[in-house]
Chains A and B, each alone.
Chain A
Amino acid sequence: MIATIQPAAPLLILALTVTILLAAIAIKRSFAGSVAITALGLIAAVASIPWAMHGNSPFMASLFSFTPDSLGFAGLTLLAALVTLVLAADYLAPGIPVPREEYPLLLLLSTLGAVALITSASFITLFLGMETMSLAMIGMIAYPRFRPGAEEAGLKYLVLSGMSSAIVLFGIGLVELATGHLQLATAVATGTVSPILLAALALIGVGAGFKLAVVPFHIWVPDVYAGAPAPTAGFVAVIPKIAVLAVIVRVMAMPGATLSPATVTAISSVAILSMLIGNLLALMQENIKRIMGYSSIAHLGYVLVALLAASAIGRAGVVFYLVTYTITVIGAFAVIGVLSRAAAARDLDQVAEFQGLFWERPFLATIMTLVLLSLAGIPPAIGFIAKMYIMAAGVNADLRILTGTLVVSSIIGLFYYLRIILVMSQKPLERAAIPGGTLAIPMTGWLAMSAVGALIVGFGIDPESLIAMLKLVFG
């Protein structure tokens, strides 16, 4: 019995935790209890992953595919969710006019959806996972509903997410029509490209594009990031992207998966536009969350370059970049998060408000600097190795235009990353304008920060340890 469900352990643990949490909230409301149960569930799920990888029973093989690489991506998601939870627990300080217990529940549900999406083997689980992930996320975005910005962001995400789900569903329908199957593997293996399948691919691609937030499906990004509370913004910036890319990477490795020249052109254009537009629009922003939004668009463009390289090094590059992206983006929102509280009218997210951070809170400023250096791809941060990976994949596959665009847009990107560092290094205007005021940063916040900083520098200086680990999991 145990051996049968062994590969599905993380998913089942998450589902079980959701149930327990629901019951717990019904019996007695306690934010600390909620957080504790969620944290335990997430930790148990993460801990079960190595064990699950050793399982070899085809558990619900028609619906789920618990391969080592999908479990690896699931692990990344779970860890990101755990850090988000730690940050949110501090961020949702008492004193807000809404109950706080449901936030961990929504986070757990969304993570469950993401894990289901990552491990899906059929379009049914894929769609269910995606919807669970997105719907719970809407709740997380609009959680401080007394903030007009959060409400607006939630609504925006609801409308656009609903629309993209409809488009994906339509595409799934067409796949069923053309192949008679809902299995991912069979649909991919069909091979014969009929107009219907092409249309289906395009529709599903649009849906994926929305979740990945690449140009031209990126319009929602800055508004949603800026409106969402900081921990949620980090979650939204990371989780759906891991999940969708995990599926894409897995599908591309399936037999029969070849990219037609037209598809390659389409993805290349999306990549080029994302890199350039993301970085160019970020230049004009005054809000760090919006900057992070645009920057994430550009970074997904970089990932697409590695994806297009369609080689072993490209695949490794995608995975490495995703890990890097997760660490750094969570880190960036963590810095904003520990300096903000849900009870305030808005987060501390204006670039100008970070002036003097270096002098008043040197540790936070150092972490933020490392995050920004990593995003800009400058050693000794891990982002440098990640960018090298992408460039290596591009050069190796001789993708000259894409690699050239990558270089140009990276240089554009330097402007706005450096500007934030500069602002932080300036003297504070007056004592009263200290970033975050007298806000005390709790122990858990420090821990999360230190972990992010250690990972950025540690893997930046010794990338081999991460490469070896990823190789073990993702092959």
Chain B
Amino acid sequence: MILVWLLVVPFLGGLLAWPSGRVHPVLPRVISFAALLLELGLLLPLLHGTAPASLIAPGHWLATFNAPWIPAFGISFRLDLDGLSWLLIVLTVVIGLFSVVVSWREIDENVGFFHANLMWSLAGSIGVFLALDLFLFFFFWEVMLVPMYFVIAIWGHENRRRAAIKFFLFTQGSGLLMLLSILALAFLHDQQTGTLTFDYFKLLENQPTGTFGYLIMLGFFIAFLVKLPSFPVHTWLPETHTEAPTAGSVILASILLKTAAYGLLRFAVPLFVAASHQIAPIAMGLGVISIFYGAILAYGQNDLKKLVAYSSISHMGFVLVGIYTFNAIAWQGVVILMIAHGISTGALFITVGSIQKRLHTRDLGQMGGLWTDLPRLSSFGAFFILASMGLPGLGNFVGEFLILRGAYAVAPTAAIIAAIGLIPAALYSLIAIQRAFHGEASTTRSFPDFGLRETAMMLALGAAIIALGIYPQPVLNVAAPGLANLTPTNTTAALPVMRTGT
């Protein structure tokens, strides 16, 4: 039941925040913040819980909830929490808190409706991380889009309408492919066993094979690839990021992109073990291309926000490569990188947002010399750019290293090429630092530096990324049973070779 509350709290928070904006503009912020804190309070104790064994399917689950939803179709309201989803939900809630804080000064129009959308898209993502009924999963997958669309379309920058529509079309369009696949999977199961169900664990037992299985898998694969995003279906991301308000960019980069990686790990791979192995070379190839493509395009950007957006594509390339190595070490790296990327890119978008608020531009050409004017902002910005570049000692490095380490054991060529991709990453990162923060200022400026609110936020994020870089073991410990859930014994039997890292 507590899992339902995890969904209800942010949803109600949003519902309360909307009208409260009319009473006083600070109320929605306070309500959202409080709701998210409450959510965190509900969430943290769950780590030490175990669901009664009778209720749950094989694996290590922390909590579970199951009730019929649309019995006519065998659809249930099934929520399950394991280590992996716990970590991602914690990330969601924490990033959500930062989004509320970062909007404190930035959003001043229709504060109530903004926070309602913010909370609802968070609720949708939490649902995505919890749902283990495929239809319910798809429901949340779609639910999180609509509020995000409003956030971009109403509070975004100049070209927000185009960006919002593009964002929605890409994700919704690919989502329909996934719905087709989900239905095909369920009906295939119905034909073979005589029961129509969308229950993840029941569908796991019947792996579709052959060309048809491959086609069904493609529906999932494409939908997640679009959302990740990977080359060649990434084109929505730079524009959407650039036009979204800071909180929107933060949520998009830190949370929504992770739902895709989560989807690949949770659904695309375990449900179609054979087909996934078949497509692995292509997936890794796309991952490697994304690493280079994102990095090279990031290098060529004049718009700092676009640069960060393209760097996201590059980082998600590592995630894609990591997932399709089917290697335990690489998967641990994927988890670390997802979290580290969520923190560092979130922090970068906050930095860019702060720069834009002061300079009214995101153009690198008009920056330069910020370090003299805004020393605190610049040093935090440089720190997070270095973190995102993969500086050893910081979280992203651990993730990338584990992924490359795991990938090398399985697909050495892909690992080597991916590793070379770290060089352009260093290039665009250093260029960005140089152009934005170093050098001579083009004009004389006087702006307020980071205030207490912003400094505190940055310190917290920085501490998290350092902790993740120096001592990632606690995170790995939480994730490990969750990752073990993704390779249940009955499916490993179907595997040609389930490689373990050496």
Q: Which residues of A contact B (CB under 8 A)?
A: 316, 358-359, 373, 378-380, 384-385, 388, 391-392, 395-396, 403, 407, 410-411, 414-415, 418-419, 421-422, 425, 463-464, 467-468, 471
Q: Which residue of B154, B172, B180, B183 is within 8 Å of A378 (Cβ)? A: B172
Q: Which residue of B71, B72, B168 is within 8 Å of A414 (Cβ)? A: B168
Q: Which 10 A-B pairs have the closest CB atoms?
A: A411-B173, A395-B183, A467-B72, A407-B176, A379-B142, A464-B70, A425-B154, A379-B139, A396-B187, A392-B183
Chain B 152-187 interface 0/1 with A at a Cβ cutoff of 8 Å (1 = within): 011000000100110011001100110110011001
Tell me, in angstroms, the Cα distance from A359 to B109 when the chains sit together. Answer: 11
**Are B143 and A379 neighbours in the complex by a CB distance under 8 Å?**
yes
Tell yes or no: B150 within 8 A of A by CB: yes
**Are B180 and A403 neighbours in the complex by a CB distance under 8 Å?**
yes
Tell me, in angstroms, the Cα distance from A464 to B72 when the chains sit together. Answer: 7
Name the residue of chain A whose CB is nearest to the CB of B22.
A362
A-side contacts of B139, CB under 8 Å = 379-380, 384
Q: How far is the CB of A470 from chain B (nearest CB, A)?
A: 9
Q: Which residues of B contact A (CB under 8 A)?
A: 68-73, 110, 113, 135, 139, 142-143, 145-146, 149-150, 153-154, 161, 164-165, 168-169, 172-173, 176-177, 179-180, 183-184, 187
Q: How far is the CB of A354 from chain B (nearest CB, A)?
A: 14
A-side contacts of B184, CB under 8 Å = 395
**Are A407 and B180 neighbours in the complex by a CB distance under 8 Å?**
yes
Tell me, in angstroms, the Cα distance from A415 to B173 when the chains sit together. Answer: 11
A-side contacts of B176, CB under 8 Å = 407, 410-411
Known: A464-B72, A471-B72. 13 other contacts (CB 8 A): A359-B110, A378-B142, A378-B145, A378-B146, A378-B172, A380-B139, A392-B183, A395-B184, A407-B180, A422-B153, A422-B164, A425-B154, A463-B70
A-side contacts of B150, CB under 8 Å = 425
**Are B169 and A414 neighbours in the complex by a CB distance under 8 Å?**
yes
Q: Which residue of A316, A391, A411, A467 is within 8 Å of B172 (Cβ)? A: A411
**Are B164 and A392 neighbours in the complex by a CB distance under 8 Å?**
no
Name the residue of chain A whose CB is nearest to the CB of B172.
A414
**Are A388 and B168 neighbours in the complex by a CB distance under 8 Å?**
no
The dominant DSSP class at the B interface is: helix
Tell me, in angstroms, the Cα distance from A384 to B136 when the chains sit together. Answer: 12
**Are B143 and A418 neighbours in the complex by a CB distance under 8 Å?**
no
Name the residue of chain B whose CB is nearest to the CB of A385.
B70
**Best-buried of B145, B177, B179 by chain A (most CB within 10 Å):** B179
B-side contacts of A388, CB under 8 Å = 135, 179, 183
**Are B180 and A395 neighbours in the complex by a CB distance under 8 Å?**
yes
Tell me, in angstroms, the Cα distance from A395 to B177 when the chains sit together. Answer: 12
Tell me, in angstroms, the Cα distance from A391 to B73 when the chains sit together. Answer: 13
22 contacts between A and B (CB under 8 A): A378-B142, A384-B142, A391-B179, A392-B73, A392-B187, A395-B187, A396-B183, A396-B187, A407-B173, A407-B177, A407-B180, A414-B169, A415-B165, A418-B149, A419-B165, A421-B153, A422-B165, A464-B68, A464-B69, A464-B71, A467-B70, A468-B72
B-side contacts of A419, CB under 8 Å = 165
B-side contacts of A422, CB under 8 Å = 153, 161, 164-165
Name the residue of chain A whose CB is nearest to the CB of B162.
A422
Q: How far is the CB of B135 from chain A (nearest CB, A)?
A: 8
A-side contacts of B179, CB under 8 Å = 388, 391
Q: How far is the CB of B402 from chain A (nearest CB, A)?
A: 36
B-side contacts of A418, CB under 8 Å = 149, 164-165, 168-169
**Are A380 and B180 neighbours in the complex by a CB distance under 8 Å?**
no
Name the residue of chain A whose CB is nearest to the CB of B179.
A391
Tell me, in angstroms, the Cα distance from A389 to B187 when the chains sit together. Answer: 13
A-side contacts of B173, CB under 8 Å = 407, 411, 414
B-side contacts of A316, CB under 8 Å = 72
**Are A425 and B71 neighbours in the complex by a CB distance under 8 Å?**
no
Tell me, in angstroms, the Cα distance from A388 to B196 when the chains sit together. Answer: 14
B-side contacts of A471, CB under 8 Å = 72
Tell me, in angstroms, the Cα distance from A468 to B71 when the chains sit together. Answer: 9
Given contacts A396-B187, A403-B180, are A373 and B146 in contact (CB under 8 A)? yes
B-side contacts of A378, CB under 8 Å = 142, 145-146, 172
Q: How far is the CB of A286 from chain B (nearest CB, A)?
A: 16
Q: Which residue of A358, A391, A415, A421 is within 8 Å of B183 (Cβ)? A: A391
**Best-buried of B110, B113, B176 by chain A (most CB within 10 Å):** B176
B-side contacts of A385, CB under 8 Å = 70
Q: How far is the CB of B68 from chain A (nearest CB, A)?
A: 8
**Are A415 and B72 neighbours in the complex by a CB distance under 8 Å?**
no
A-side contacts of B187, CB under 8 Å = 392, 395-396
Tell me, in angstroms, the Cα distance from A373 to B187 when the chains sit together. Answer: 27
A-side contacts of B143, CB under 8 Å = 379-380
Tell me, in angstroms, the Cα distance from A356 to B385 when the chains sit together. Answer: 40
Tell me, in angstroms, the Cα distance from A410 to B177 when the chains sit together. Answer: 11
